[in-house]
């Protein structure tokens, strides 16, 4: 089963690869705020979609593979004079085949932009600080294994069931 840390690692690596030397942080960290310009990421929601989970037949060891789709909304916020450019770099990268193929190879698919890049400037130390934000929708498959066991041996004598051995 993939962990939240796995998913966040893929998204962090994508953002840092696209933005180069611009710092990328996870939102809600209790750390010193870096000098602008920088970007924060935050997984706002993680929802199972698509109804019931897909299940395979049991294999010879009695394992059933279970898979369900999940969607995550990633809130991106950029800070500083180049904040709009930073958001555009990230968003536009999701149209590049090399980026989408890399994400797909790591089990994550970009689906859509839920909130367009928008102004979020705030006053910091008596002057406006440029900020831009957007919401991006990604999808991944959650997989798990259910070990149900299997019937190893059934002994029948005539019409009578003698023993069943379950592994």
**Nearest partner of 145 among 58, 52, 64, 56, judged by Cα:** 64
Spatial distance between the Cα atoms of 117 and 92, rounded to a whole number of angstroms? 11
Q: What is the torsional sign of CA 127, 115, 108, 43?
A: positive
pLDDT higher than threshold 80 for residue 165: no
Instruction: Indicate the domain borders of the chain.
Output: 4-166
- Whole-number pLDDT of residue 53: 79
Spatial distance between the Cα atoms of 52 and 47, rounded to a whole number of angstroms? 13
- Which two tokens mark 120? 């979020």
pLDDT higher than threshold 80 for residue 164: no
What's the rounded mean pLDDT across residues 116-132? 92
Confidence of residue 167 (pLDDT cuts 50, 70, 90): low
Full-model pTM: 0.82
Beta strand ranges found along the chain (DSSP E) = 24-26, 38-55, 63-79, 108-119, 122-124, 127-129, 131-147, 151-157, 160-166
- Whole-number pLDDT of residue 120: 93
pLDDT in tens, 1-26: 678 899 999 999 999 999 999 999 99
pLDDT in tens, 74-106: 999 999 999 999 999 999 999 999 999 999 999
- 142 vs 42, higher pLDDT: 42
Confidence of residue 55 (pLDDT cuts 50, 70, 90): confident
Spatial distance between the Cα atoms of 57 and 25, rounded to a whole number of angstroms? 42
């Amino acid at each position: 089963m993939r962990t939240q840390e796995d998913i966040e690692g893929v998204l962090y690596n994508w953002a840092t690869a696209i933005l180069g030397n611009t710092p990328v942080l996870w939102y809600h960290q209790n750390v010193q705020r870096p000098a602008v310009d920088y970007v924060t990421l935050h997984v706002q929601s993680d929802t199972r979609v698509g109804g019931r989970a897909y299940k395979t037949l049991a294999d010879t060891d009695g394992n059933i593979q279970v898979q369900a789709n999940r969607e995550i909304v990633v809130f991106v916020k950029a800070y500083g004079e180049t904040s709009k450019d930073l958001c555009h770099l990230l968003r536009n990268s999701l149209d590049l085949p090399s980026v989408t193929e890399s994400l797909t190879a790591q089990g994550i698919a970009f689906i859509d932009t839920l909130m367009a890049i928008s102004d979020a400037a705030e006053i910091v130390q008596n002057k406006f600080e440029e900020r831009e934000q957007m919401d991006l929708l990604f999808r991944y498959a959650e997989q798990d294994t259910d070990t149900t066991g299997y019937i190893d041996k059934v002994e029948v004598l005539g019409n009578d069931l003698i023993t069943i051995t379950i592994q």
